[in-house]
Amino acid sequence: MELVGHCVSCGAPVYCKDGFLDGVSENGRLYCHECYNKDDGEDDKEKSLQQ
């Protein structure tokens, strides 16, 4: 297991496990799965309110 970096949202460490990123890299930013899924859900809520 190798430390890749830290989540830009909560600061949690994000690792590479057996050659796979244990997080999400989007637009040059690194997120842990929990924050990425949380942020993704909030975007859906905001979009539905704007319609």
Per-residue confidence (pLDDT) for residue 41, from 0 to 100: 56
Per-residue confidence (pLDDT) for residue 38, from 0 to 100: 85
Is 80 exceeded by the pLDDT of residue 42? no
Per-residue confidence (pLDDT) for residue 49, from 0 to 100: 46
| Backbone Cα Rg of the chain | 13
Structure tokens at 3: 């430390």
pTM recorded for the entire structure: 0.68
- Determine the Cα–Cα distance for residues 51 and 42; give it in Å rounded to an integer: 15
Domain ranges of the chain: 2-50
Per-residue confidence (pLDDT) for residue 11, from 0 to 100: 95
- Determine the Cα–Cα distance for residues 42 and 37; give it in Å rounded to an integer: 9
> Average of pLDDT values for 8-37?
94
Per-residue confidence (pLDDT) for residue 39, from 0 to 100: 66
Report the chain's mean pLDDT, rounded to a whole number.
Answer: 83
